[in-house]
């Protein structure tokens, strides 16, 4: 029996796979002060559903896969360890300078970001290595020992080390690591060349500092999770989802917590790719949009590959902290069910980025929210049934939602309440469409040719309209779309990533250096796979080159299928592959420029799960499919709209909107212009 | 068509769509541009102007690029080419016809509907790595006139017809502009940007209807104007004079050039006037402002002083009256005076004189002075890389600061200069050392160099670098040594710029403000950038922030006491009683 959970800001999702292959899905409220409590509550729902006690059910468990925002929340709320940073002499301000850049150039109310580690805890170590790895100035161990004494005196709880050119020659970083271990044995250390070998010292320093600062608390959190699951009767393996879209054993997370920063959202494209393929859209690019209460997370699948990025920011770009570590490219914008609608002094409507969040939440939740939100608009329009929200688990107050929208939006705009509610949806939809446009243009994907996957419990409410604006002919709301990341978690593999920073160019290609690096990376992957042992049913190793044309600033990821470079033909093949990849993303190729490689990354994936499918257990409820509801659409006004129960629909039949499809976890709205069908995979496919 | 009236929701949605178009244009240009000025310094902009040549929407970019100028360029295009057709595109970089400066090559494409009616114009402007000047630089401050400057000038010259290049024009560029391959790459990126913008607007027009879009632009300008009116109503009333002085550079009088701005704030009318007419005549150097830069710089000073959420377009611009004089260095520069560096030096002094004048209107208004540029730490280095025998020439962006304090918060430290507003990227040391045979020995900040105040200006940066092997040349023009960035409302000035050549024996020689310096192996350049001015009385600053600045080494405890009137105890904590006594 397998469990996969994803802790979101509002809900904790749980997907359970029984040994007979049956899959079920549960949602419990997230407890921000004690995230493990939300996980246990969801597990209790699953146990009750099976007529078992929690301990009996857990005792049958083989694996528990956990997605957590604990690391990111700790950074946002400043609860990380007291961390020191050691840098090369003369370069104290790496974390102050960052890489420049700014958003909102006329906004002089936002202060310059503070460095992740304060200057008072940043120490300059006398040493210098140059670009080719030569030591220009040896490490002064005497000064270093003085610094270590200061670290002790300052009660530092974690130490990050980032020296210039440590990725080319790590001798000084390694030695500092040894001395720290010797003199501060209980203080965790992160060395930049090991955490994130990349040729940009700011990103390396930022990764190392973030990593070190998370070590004590992630160790404690996962220890507590493991212990509480064990106390409750679970004896299997505890896994944690990684930013790169895989999973790792919880025991190892505290060695490299940087790997799990975006645990959770990174899984959405894994699930999205699976569901697109299930309905024979394997050859199309996929846009995966996950609607939450406060954020709208967008990720992509391009030609079967999930694009990665080193530009994951905690907080706003240029204002927050750059993680710098390769992560699944997920763009997150402040738009969701909780986004607040308001009319400004000039009479213009705004939706978001302010959010009512989970607390106080939308007005209709009756938890004290007074500002009208997107969710309130969907209740007013008849999209959400106030009596069947979360399968009836939560009653919604429609009258209060109407009153808030009337007073705060409809009256100031001089329009009807339903007209106002519709424009709130329309503007929220537009904001989401623009966010998708931003990420797709940057990744060279034409949204009109792609398939849109709607994930998250609220996706169905406006994804038809989003898809229509994007121009795509296919929108898929997967059967398990309401818990997309948890579903992705269930199908995720045990993974590890290894990287090396090197520099070479097709103009003077250093085959030996590249071949040695490839050999080392594969050896590390093989060793990892061996450690996974017989549980690994299948092992995949993939190599990615970080490459660019000469003098370009931004590199792109290019899959590297070759094991070693033997001849000029191999180098020519590399540059041809790069030209094609560049043209794919940027629409142009430049065959006259040399191609530079600035780094290599390897990912090893060990498949642990038996079977490939993931179908929700269907329990044919005797729902009445002939029920109708009055629902408001812009084109047709209040319209008699047919209601369907997702779990009792038959497959394959093409149905014309308007329609509302409901399940305990989600509501899907299709207006009169759309068609839809339930496919054999259990998904609803909509042609908007 | 006049009876179409959109509500606040429809306005919001259409605005979001037009903003989406300019963002898409900008993303395309950023991702496909080849030169470093474009993709590293982000020295480009994309915008949409209406058929009447009014600025409608601009993607977020460096401020000096877009406020005024696109409107004038579109007007020139219409005047010289009254019969616009779909598929046309025009090159424009004439500072005498609305462009900022010749290096900012601009591509304009009219958006023509199915009936052949010109509806909008899409504009992409990108600072080129080279524009064919007589010397290999795009900032030729020493240019006596346009002929000496030598840039190829295009006053709205047609370069595409029926979506095809007019190859005569392309060939002229490829003959005159250095590194033509790179130029061609950037040109293609601009074509990609305007064509994407055109396609998107055509599709919006077909979906929404052109008459409705006309109604939208009119109402959007009215909305923006009303927001600007509200913002200007919150400024104090009065007439004030501001000034900002540029250090003497070659071609300037020995005392430098003082820029004067009169600002008249009329909150009861929701209007503001900036008068730049009382300034010296154009000079025989490359520092004269184009009309576009003079107007834009004045407006930057204003927009830096009001609610940042006011949309910047022809509607809000109606409330700003900028008065310029023909033949004036900060006005309308006649041909053939050179405007080679119009986007930086004098333009920065204009914006600074306006925002510091506004600060004099009363409390919580305006901003301090942003530091000047360009220190050698952002200079152009050139030479032959003895590691591979290849010649190199590149602007490095090792460090800059310059940020000024506002009435709301401390400076955005890495602002670069007022016209850039911090949009520029900063290089990593490793990347610069990889691509050039240099060694960066030190990169950091100068202690006690922040513009003291209740809110502080940025501290000066200090970078020490020299050849790793062989020699190199470095060219720069560093303003702000004599005239450090001024504080306002009781705030102090920020650190001044300075530069030295440090010899192998450890001795130092101070370098000129503007120079091309040969640096030999064993020598290093020590480059100190200008900081930024502070806002408000330093004795009003939060004592805890002062204590933390001492702990972090930004300032000395001596400065905490003498400048900020904060007394710290031996453990570095604020001594509240002693501080209160000292502050009175």
Distance from CA of B182 to the nearest CA of A (A): 10
Q: Residue B531: is its pLDDT beyond 90?
A: yes
Please give the residue of chain B at the shortest CA–CA distance from A112. B412
3-class secondary-structure state, position A261: coil
Cross-chain Cβ contact A101/B410 below 8 Å:
no
Please give the residue of chain B at the shortest CA–CA distance from A504. B434
Distance from CA of A278 to the nearest CA of B (A): 32
Q: What is the CA radius of gyration of chain B?
A: 24
Contacting residues of A for B188, CB less than 8 Å apart: 588
Among B226, B444, B458, select the one facing A93 at the smallest CB separation: B444
Cross-chain Cβ contact B397/A554 below 8 Å:
no
Cross-chain Cβ contact B8/A347 below 8 Å:
yes
Query: Mean of the per-residue pLDDT values for chain B?
Result: 95
The predicted structure's pLDDT at residue A589: 78
The predicted structure's pLDDT at residue A587: 67
Best A84, A89, A102, A372 member to test B by mutation, with max B CBs in 10 Å, is: A102
Query: Mean of the per-residue pLDDT values for chain A?
Result: 92
* Interval A278-291 mean pLDDT: 91
Q: Residue B424: is its pLDDT beyond 80?
A: yes
Cross-chain Cβ contact A412/B34 below 8 Å:
no
Confidence of residue B1 (pLDDT cuts 50, 70, 90): very low
* Interval B537-566 mean pLDDT: 97
The Cβ-side half-sphere exposure at A487, using a 13 Å CA radius, reads 26
* Pairing relationship of beta strands A237-241 and A189-191 according to DSSP bridges: unpaired
The Cβ-side half-sphere exposure at B431, using a 13 Å CA radius, reads 27
Least confident of A108-112, A678-682, B504-508, B526-530: A678-682
Contacting residues of B for A438, CB less than 8 Å apart: 23-24, 27
Confidence of residue A493 (pLDDT cuts 50, 70, 90): very high
pLDDT digits (tens, 9 = 90+) for B166-189: 999 999 999 999 878 889 889 999
Confidence of residue A624 (pLDDT cuts 50, 70, 90): low
Among A102, A424, A427, select the one facing B423 at the smallest CB separation: A102
Percent helix, strand, coil in chain B, to 5, is: 30, 20, 45
Q: Residue A551: is its pLDDT beyond 80?
A: no
Best A85, A346, A503 member to test B by mutation, with max B CBs in 10 Å, is: A346
Please give the residue of chain A at the shortest CA–CA distance from B224. A346
Enter the pTM of the model.
Answer: 0.95
Are the C-beta atoms of residues A82 and A187 closer than 8 Å to each other? Answer: no
Residue B511, Cα to own-chain centre: how many angstroms? 26
Whether the ipTM is more than 0.90: the answer is: yes
Cβ under 8 Å to A: B residues 316-375: 367
Q: Residue B532: is its pLDDT beyond 60?
A: yes
* Interval B407-413 mean pLDDT: 98
The predicted structure's pLDDT at residue A623: 55
Cross-chain Cβ contact B24/A437 below 8 Å:
yes
Least confident of A533-537, B45-49, B113-117: A533-537
Rounded distance between C-alpha atoms, residue A302 and residue A284, angstroms: 8
Cross-chain Cβ contact A434/B23 below 8 Å:
yes
3-class secondary-structure state, position A447: helix
Contacting residues of A for B429, CB less than 8 Å apart: 91, 164, 201
Among A100, A107, A131, select the one facing B425 at the smallest CB separation: A100
Q: Residue A267: is its pLDDT beyond 90?
A: yes
Cross-chain Cβ contact B39/A348 below 8 Å:
no
Contacting residues of A for B20, CB less than 8 Å apart: 433-434, 437
Interchain contact B43–A (C-beta under 8 A): no
More confident residue, A251 or A294: A251
Cross-chain Cβ contact B19/A434 below 8 Å:
yes
The predicted structure's pLDDT at residue A61: 95
Cβ under 8 Å to A: B residues 148-177: none
pLDDT digits (tens, 9 = 90+) for B94-124: 999 999 999 999 999 999 999 999 999 999 9
Rounded distance between C-alpha atoms, residue B181 and residue B27, angstroms: 21
**Torsion, Cα of A49, A54, A56, A59 (10° steps):** 120
Rounded distance between C-alpha atoms, residue B130 and residue A217, angstroms: 53
Interchain contact B406–A (C-beta under 8 A): yes
Interchain contact B386–A (C-beta under 8 A): no
Contacting residues of B for A99, CB less than 8 Å apart: 425-426, 428
Are the C-beta atoms of residues A243 and A460 closer than 8 Å to each other? Answer: no
């Amino acid at each position: 029996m397998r469990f996969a959970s994803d802790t979101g800001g509002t809900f904790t999702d749980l997907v359970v796979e029984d040994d007979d292959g049956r899959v079920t899905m549960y949602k419990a409220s997230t407890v921000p002060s004690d995230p493990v409590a939300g996980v246990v509550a969801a597990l209790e729902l699953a146990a009750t559903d099976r007529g078992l006690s929690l301990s009996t059910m857990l005792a049958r468990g083989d694996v528990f896969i956990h997605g957590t925002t604990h690391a990111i929340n700790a950074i946002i709320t400043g609860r990380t360890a007291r961390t020191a940073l050691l840098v090369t002499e003369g370069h104290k301000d790496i974390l102050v300078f960052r890489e420049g850049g700014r958003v909102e150039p006329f906004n002089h109310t936002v202060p310059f970001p503070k460095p992740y580690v304060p200057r008072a805890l940043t120490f300059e170590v006398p040493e210098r290595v140059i670009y080719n790895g030569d030591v220009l100035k040896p490490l002064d161990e005497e000064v270093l020992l003085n610094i270590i004494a200061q670290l002790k005196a300052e009660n530092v709880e974690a130490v990050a080390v980032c020296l210039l050119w440590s990725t080319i020659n790590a001798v000084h970083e390694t030695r500092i690591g040894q001395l720290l271990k010797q003199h501060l044995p209980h203080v965790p250390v992160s060395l930049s060349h090991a955490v994130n070998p990349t040729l940009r010292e700011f990103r390396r320093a930022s990764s190392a500092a973030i990593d070190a600062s998370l070590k004590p608390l992630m160790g404690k959190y996962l220890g507590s999770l493991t212990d509480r699951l064990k106390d409750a009767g679970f004896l299997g393996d505890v896994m944690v989802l990684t930013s790169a879209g895989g999973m790792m054993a919880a025991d190892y997370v505290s060695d490299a917590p940087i790997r799990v920063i975006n645990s959770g959202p990174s899984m959405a494209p894994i699930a999205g790719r699976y569901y697109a393929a299930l309905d024979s859209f394997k050859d199309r690019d996929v846009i995966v949009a996950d609607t939450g209460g406060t954020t709208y997370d967008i990720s992509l699948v391009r030609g079967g590959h999930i694009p990665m990025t080193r530009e994951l920011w905690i907080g706003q770009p240029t204002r927050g902290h750059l993680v710098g570590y390769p992560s699944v490219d997920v763009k997150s914008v402040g738009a969701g069910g909780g986004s607040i609608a308001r009319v400004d002094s000039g009479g213009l409507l705004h939706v978001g980025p302010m959010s009512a969040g989970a607390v106080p939440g939308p007005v209709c939740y009756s938890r004290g929210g007074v500002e009208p939100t997107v969710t309130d608009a969907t209740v007013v329009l008849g999209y959400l049934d106030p009596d069947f929200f979360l399968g009836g688990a939560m009653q919604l107050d429609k009258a209060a939602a109407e009153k808030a929208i009337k007073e705060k939006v409809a009256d100031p705009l001089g329009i009807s309440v339903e007209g106002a509610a519709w424009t709130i949806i329309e503007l929220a939809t537009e904001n989401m469409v623009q966010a998708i446009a931003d990420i797709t243009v940057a990744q060279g994907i034409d949204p009109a040719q792609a398939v849109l996957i709607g994930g998250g419990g609220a996706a169905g409410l406006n994804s038809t309209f989003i898809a229509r604006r994007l121009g795509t002919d296919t929108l898929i709301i997967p059967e398990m779309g309401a818990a997309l990341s948890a579903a992705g978690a269930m199908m995720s593999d045990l993974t590890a990533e290894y990287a090396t920073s090197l520099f070479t160019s097709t103009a003077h290609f250093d085959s030996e250096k590249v071949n040695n690096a490839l050999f080392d990376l594969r050896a590390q992957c093989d060793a990892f796979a061996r450690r996974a042992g017989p549980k690994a049913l299948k092992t995949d190793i993939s190599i990615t080159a970080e490459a660019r044309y000469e003098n370009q600033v931004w590199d792109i990821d290019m899959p590297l299928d070759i094991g070693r470079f033997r001849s000029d033909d191999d180098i020519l093949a590399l540059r041809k592959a790069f030209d094609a990849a560049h043209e794919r993303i940027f629409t142009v190729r430049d065959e006259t420029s040399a191609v530079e490689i600035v780094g290599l990354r390897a990912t090893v994936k060990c498949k642990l799960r038996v079977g490939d499918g993931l179908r929700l257990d269907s329990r044919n409820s005797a729902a009445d499919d002939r029920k109708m509801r009055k629902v408001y659409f812009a084109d047709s006004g209040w319209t008699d709209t047919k209601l369907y129960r997702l779990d009792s629909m038959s497959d394959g039949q093409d149905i014309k909107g308007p329609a509302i499809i409901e399940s305990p976890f989600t509501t899907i709205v299709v207006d009169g212009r759309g068609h839809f069908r339930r496919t054999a995979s259990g998904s609803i496919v909509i042609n908007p | 068509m006049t009876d179409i009236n959109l509500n606040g929701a429809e306005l919001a949605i259409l605005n979001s769509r037009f903003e989406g178009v300019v963002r898409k244009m900008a993303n395309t240009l950023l991702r496909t541009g080849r030169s470093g000025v474009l993709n590293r310094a982000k020295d480009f902009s994309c915008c949409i102007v209406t058929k009447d040549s009014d600025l409608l929407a601009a993607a977020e970019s460096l401020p000096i690029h877009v406020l005024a100028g696109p409107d004038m360029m579109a007007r020139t295009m219409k005047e010289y080419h009254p019969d616009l057709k779909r598929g046309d595109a025009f090159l424009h970089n004439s500072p005498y016809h609305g462009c900022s400066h010749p290096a900012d090559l601009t591509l304009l494409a009219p958006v023509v509907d199915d009936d052949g009616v010109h509806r909008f114009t899409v504009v992409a402007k990108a600072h080129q790595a080279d524009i064919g000047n007589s010397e290999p630089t795009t900032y030729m401050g020493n240019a006596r006139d346009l002929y000496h400057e030598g840039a190829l000038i295009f006053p709205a010259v047609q370069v595409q017809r029926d979506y095809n290049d007019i190859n005569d024009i392309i060939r002229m560029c490829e003959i005159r502009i250095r590194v033509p391959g790179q130029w061609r790459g950037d040109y293609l990126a601009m074509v990609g940007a305007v064509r994407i913008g055109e396609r998107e607007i055509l599709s919006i027009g077909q979906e929404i209807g052109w008459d409705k879009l006309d109604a939208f632009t009119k109402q959007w300008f009215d909305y923006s104007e009303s927001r600007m009116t509200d913002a200007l109503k919150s400024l104090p009333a009065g007439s004030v004079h501001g000034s900002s002085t540029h250090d003497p550079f070659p071609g300037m009088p020995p005392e430098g050039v003082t820029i004067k701005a009169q600002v008249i704030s009329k909150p009861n009318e929701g209007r503001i006037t900036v008068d730049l007419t009382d300034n010296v005549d154009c000079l025989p150097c490359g520092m004269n402002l184009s009309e576009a830069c003079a107007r834009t710089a004045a407006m930057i000073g204003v927009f830096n002083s009001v609610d940042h959420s006011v949309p910047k377009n022809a509607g809000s611009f109606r409330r700003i009256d900028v008065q310029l004089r023909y033949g004036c260095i900060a006005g309308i520069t006649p041909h053939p005076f050179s405007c080679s560096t119009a986007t930086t030096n004098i333009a920065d002094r204009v914006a600074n004189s306006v925002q510091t004048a506004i600060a004099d209107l009363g409390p919580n208004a305006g901003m301090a002075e942003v530091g000047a540029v360009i220190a050698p730490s952002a200079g152009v280095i050139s030479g032959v890389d003895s590691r591979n025998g290849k010649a190199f020439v590149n602007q490095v962006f090792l460090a800059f600061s310059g940020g000024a304090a506002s009435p709301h918060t401390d400076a955005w430290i890495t602002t670069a200069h007022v016209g850039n507003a911090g949009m520029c990227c900063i290089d990593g040391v490793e990347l610069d050392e990889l691509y050039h045979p240099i060694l960066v020995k030190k990169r950091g900040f100068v202690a006690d160099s922040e513009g003291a105040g209740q809110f502080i200006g940025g501290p000066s940066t200090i970078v020490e670098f020299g050849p790793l092997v062989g020699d190199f040349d470095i060219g720069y023009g560093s303003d702000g040594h004599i005239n450090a960035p001024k504080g306002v409302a009781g705030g102090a000035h920020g650190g001044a710029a300075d530069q030295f050549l440090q010899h192998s024996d450890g001795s130092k020689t101070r370098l000129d403000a503007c120079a091309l310096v040969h640096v030999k192996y064993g020598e290093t350049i020590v480059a100190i950038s200008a900081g930024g001015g502070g806002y408000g009385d330093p004795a009003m600053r939060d004592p805890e922030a002062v204590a933390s600045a001492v702990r972090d080494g930004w300032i000395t405890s001596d400065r905490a006491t003498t400048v900020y009137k904060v007394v710290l105890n031996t453990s570095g904590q604020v001594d509240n009683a002693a501080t209160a006594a000292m502050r009175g």
